[in-house]
Chains A and B, each alone.
Chain A
Amino acid sequence: MNRRTFLSSTTATVAVLGFPAILRAQGGPLRIGFPLPLTGPFAAIAADQQRGAQLAVEELNTKGGILGRKVEVLFRDDELKPATGAQRTKELIENQNVDFVVGGLAAHVQMAINEQTKKAGRLFISISQSDEISAKPDTSPITFHEALNPTITGRAVGGWGVQNLGKRWWIVYADYAWGKQNNAVFSDVVKKAGGTVLGNTPYPLGKPEFSAHIPRIQAAKPEVLLAATPGADGVAFMKQAISFGMKKEMKIIVPLHFLFAAKEGGADLFADVYGGTNFYWELAETIPQAKRFVDAFTKKFGAPPDGYAGYGYSGILEVARGVTLAKSTDSAKVADTLRKNPTYDHYKGKQYWRACDNKSFQDLWLTKGRPQAKGEWGYFEVAGKVPADEKLERTCAEKGHA
């Protein structure tokens, strides 16, 4: 390499790496940062969140943007690692000067993002399941939580299950925060509704090996089996349950159903399995707002949205609504405005923010796996609805809010 090529390649490198961002003048596009795990085991769900957000931005810009400014969403891969999520959020704030942050999928990553947005004073709308983010010490006046959480899902799905499927339960759960929360909440709900939990089976996360446990569960003859087995563990559990013939002996229920998991594993895997969800695309048949969302989404992406696409879509539109009403991009003012105008309806019916903890309350549904998919995406049928209800969530006092 001679000197000239060395110098020119150095210059090129510097140009690629970039110099510190010069603060953008007002009137440029309104920027929203969006960290999410584009790589890693939950990439498929993250892609759904991303599509929801992309649709929202397109719709906003078609209508002329927010307060006359174009909207721009900057997606960043958090790799499903809290440290990466935190660093990418710092980059979004310091380098891209984003006004707001929406996103997060894994509980632990969203908390790391939240620490950065709190410190920098940027409004954050989390679209990941978590009990903690809207409770002390994680909560803040500018931290909003759009998604469901394990307490709400557990009380709603458990309450529905004990009324409709049977009183004698067994719980299998992965031994970590989310699994333990589900075990605690479901046990509580079943007992309060007059049912019994015959036993439970904790197992190490990521080691889905149930052949020694299954005979014991079968011998106890539960009517309902709850499987709090996330991701790949859930697929392994269903396979083992099928090979031991459990599906014929009891109803199986999971906290959450995912369309992409059914698509990956095939209809047999989740056939007759019940599960909760914040949204299922066949709701378009009965809810006009859902029909509008599903049609627009399907037209743009060629496949219907799953629940997390709804969160991504709604999260972006809530930022837009807050800014429009507040006539300001100041995070504290937008947050105040959302608390004062708590009701919104972007994709599935009315939702509202509870003032004490900035938690969104919304309807959720029970779906049941079909033995054979109806069309390309009809893996589930809607089996029941649980309307939004603050009794399904811990009280403000229980969450540490005075």
Chain B
Amino acid sequence: MPDVTLSALAAQLFTGLVLGGILVLLAIGLSLIFGLMTVVNFAHGSFYMLGAYVGFFLLAYTKNFWVALVVAPLVVGTLGLVVERLLIRPLYGRSPNDPLLLTFGLSLVLVEAVKLVAGKVGLTLDPPAALAGAIDLGFMMFPAYRIFVVLVTAVVLVALWLFLEKTNVGLVVRAGSRDALMVRALGIDLGRVWLVVFGLGIAMAGLAGILAGPLRGVYAEMGFEIIIEAFVVVVVGGMGSLLGAVVAGLLIGEVVSLTTYFAPKLAEIVVFIVMAVVLLTRPSGLFGEAGRAE
């Protein structure tokens, strides 16, 4: 075990926050989509990967990171709308396993398609010059770009919260995830809400992807690695619970980060241990409601 200094510990905690932030962005989308439509979107990681690739090409074309950061999630989100309409919608009413299987197949197709288009070797996505370098936080140096990632995550979360709590569409989303039948009885077209939510969740995955690109590199399989962690976050937080996704995302981020530092051998196992323990003691996850997702 390495000797612990305060600054190393602080740096590791902050690193956990960065990882946690990216997991939260993914897990919220997964959880929203599941909560509203009981679709387990296995392709979520592939949209995350697409976000990074689209960001890379936008950056190469426009030479402007900020444009890429805004446009990439929109492009990916639009693709999400198409996928919902063409592929997911025909499966509503069938076994809940079918969307899971379909999106699993879709994730393979997307990864292979990206390899055909963009090549098999990974790409490097550079952060903008303004965020290159490290910032002196007094007790330690920390790369500016990572601080930026945490800030973006926080802003997106606040915006999402306002959307769900303060707008009419948000109200319908919340109601629809609680009791779809009742909402429909009130004469509201849930199909359109589903479309919006699916697109929104996918766009957030795309945002997570372009944010993660400069940290972890851009490669076709990047989504496979993180999707399993994102699933764990959703399950630990409670399927369909947004608060759960946030808390569990940050928790998993910190746990992984600290384990990587103190016991690298356990870093890959620890998320599953956390998940197994949570599920066996609190069967519906930390914030889940009993009886859902069965």
Contact = CB atoms under 8 A, between A and B. Distances in A.
Interface of A: 39-41, 43-44, 175, 199, 201-204, 206-209, 211-213, 215-216, 219, 232, 235-236, 239-240, 243-244, 260, 264-265
Among A40, A204, A240, A260, chain B packs the most CB atoms within 10 A around the CB of A204
Contact of B11 (A40, A41, A208, A215): A215
Contacts of A39: 115, 120
B120 A211 contact: no
Contacts of A44: 120-121
B191 interface: no
A209 B260 contact: yes
B260 A211 contact: no
A216 B261 CA distance: 12
A235 B217 contact: yes
A212 B143 contact: no
A211 B223 CA distance: 22
A211 B217 contact: no
Given A202-B264, A209-B260, 17 more contacts: A40-B120, A44-B120, A199-B2, A208-B216, A211-B142, A211-B143, A212-B257, A215-B8, A215-B11, A215-B140, A215-B141, A232-B217, A232-B219, A239-B124, A243-B132, A243-B143, A265-B124
Contact of B264 (A175, A240, A265): A175
Given A175-B265, A207-B260, A216-B2, A243 B216 contact: no
A211 B11 CA distance: 7
B11 to A, nearest CB: 4
A171 to B, nearest CB: 13
A397 B214 CA distance: 48
Nearest to B219: A232
Contacts of A235: 122, 124, 217
B19 to A, nearest CB: 8
Given A204-B268, A208-B216, A236-B216, A213 B122 contact: no
Shortest Cβ-Cβ A-B pairs, 5 listed: A212-B12, A212-B11, A43-B120, A204-B267, A202-B264
A232 B133 contact: no
A219 B225 CA distance: 33
Among B121, B143, B216, B219, chain A packs the most CB atoms within 10 A around the CB of B121
Contact of A212 (B15, B122, B134, B216): B15
Nearest to B13: A212
B44 interface: no
A333 B13 CA distance: 62
A232 B213 CA distance: 12
A215 B120 contact: no
A158 to B, nearest CB: 22
A239 to B, nearest CB: 8
Given A209-B15, A212-B261, A236-B216, A244 B134 contact: yes
B5 interface: yes
B64 interface: no
A102 to B, nearest CB: 22
B264 A41 contact: no
A244 B264 contact: no
B125 to A, nearest CB: 11
A352 to B, nearest CB: 35
Contacts, number: 80
Given A41-B219, A208-B216, A213 B115 contact: no
Contacts of B267: 204, 207
Contacts of B19: 209
Contacts of B11: 211-212, 215
Interface in B101-146: 115, 120-122, 124, 132-134, 140-143, 146
B224 to A, nearest CB: 11
B7 interface: yes
Interface in B199-255: 215-217, 219, 221, 225
Contacts of A40: 120
Nearest to A202: B264
24 contacts: A39-B120, A41-B221, A203-B264, A204-B265, A204-B267, A204-B268, A209-B19, A209-B215, A209-B260, A211-B15, A211-B142, A213-B8, A213-B261, A215-B11, A216-B8, A232-B217, A232-B219, A236-B217, A239-B124, A240-B143, A243-B143, A244-B141, A264-B121, A265-B124
Contacts of B115: 39
B132 to A, nearest CB: 7
A232 B260 contact: no
Among A206, A211, A219, chain B packs the most CB atoms within 10 A around the CB of A211
B209 to A, nearest CB: 16
A208 B216 CA distance: 7
A207 B132 CA distance: 21
A111 B285 CA distance: 43
A265 B120 CA distance: 15
Nearest to B123: A264
B8 A212 contact: yes
Contacts of B124: 235, 239, 264-265
Contacts of B257: 209, 212
A310 B73 CA distance: 44
A264 B133 CA distance: 22
A247 to B, nearest CB: 14
A57 B143 CA distance: 51
Contacts of A219: 5
Contacts of A203: 260, 264
A242 to B, nearest CB: 9
Nearest to B256: A207
Contact of B120 (A41, A206, A212, A236): A41
B111 to A, nearest CB: 11
